[in-house]
Amino acid sequence: MKDQMFKSLNARFNSVWITVLSTILFANSIYAQNARLGKDEMKKLSHWEGTWKGEGWQMDRSTRQRIQFSVEEKVESKLGGLALFVEGKGKSDKADFLGHHAIGLIYYNLDKSTYEMKSITQDGMTTLAKAYIDDSGNFIWGFDVPGGQVRFTITLTADTWEEKGAFSMDGNTWYPMMEMNLKKVK
């Protein structure tokens, strides 16, 4: 009788132990998938908020000619300053339709100690870009693409936004592919 009671208690203990261990492992896996965000680092980008308008050019992939465009970028702080929501709309000077329409969410990932930007374009493409602020105060973001890397450098003052995009096959030699110059209008 004692042996049977001992086996029953042992089975219950093992069952409870497995349940507790599973719960801990499940909770840790959920936590690992959720990054902690930093509000203090986002304060460095607070001057981005507003509406920006201007012009620029981008390199046409097929003709390798510059295409002129007008663009508007709207930037809003979200979630009490944890993130910036950016929406960009651009029109070619030769067409009256949106040639560029994208949204992005910029935040600071405390766990990785880096800015990240999740972007979605009108043609259904999405990117998770890494970003940082360099010693000159420029916001540099980029990502890998087949055959190389793309990098954008944003320089902001109180009322101007200059952004330059470049492509590199080796990470050393960079080829300009886009530039825009905007003024803050709101």
Q: Quick one: average pLDDT of 37-60?
A: 94
Task: Check whether 178 has a pLDDT greater than 50.
Answer: yes
Query: Is the dihedral angle over the CA atoms 94, 97, 99, 104 positive or is it negative?
Result: positive
Q: What is the pLDDT of residue 4?
A: 59
Residues 129-166 as b/e (b if ≥16 CB within 10 A, e otherwise) read bebeeeeeebbbbbeeeeeeebbbbbbbeeeebbbbbb
Tell me which of 75 and 2 has the higher pLDDT.
75
What tens digit of pLDDT does each residue of 6-34 get? 455 444 544 444 444 344 444 444 455 67
Read off the pLDDT band of 127 (50, 70, 90).
very high
Q: Are the C-beta atoms of residues 151 and 179 closer than 8 Å to each other?
A: no
Phi, psi (degrees; rounded to nearest 5) at 181: -130, 120
Average per-residue pLDDT for the chain: 85
What tens digit of pLDDT does each residue of 49-106 get? 999 999 999 888 788 888 889 999 999 999 999 999 999 998 887 766 657 899 999 9
Q: Are the C-beta atoms of residues 179 and 155 closer than 8 Å to each other?
A: no
What pTM was computed for the model? 0.78
Q: What is the pLDDT of residue 67?
A: 87
Report how far residue 79's alpha carbon sits from residue 93's, in angstroms, rounded to the nearest whole number: 36
For residue 34, give both structure tokens. Answer: 């959720």
Q: What is the pLDDT of residue 16?
A: 47
Q: What is the pLDDT of residue 32?
A: 52
Neighbours of 82 (CB within 10 A): 14
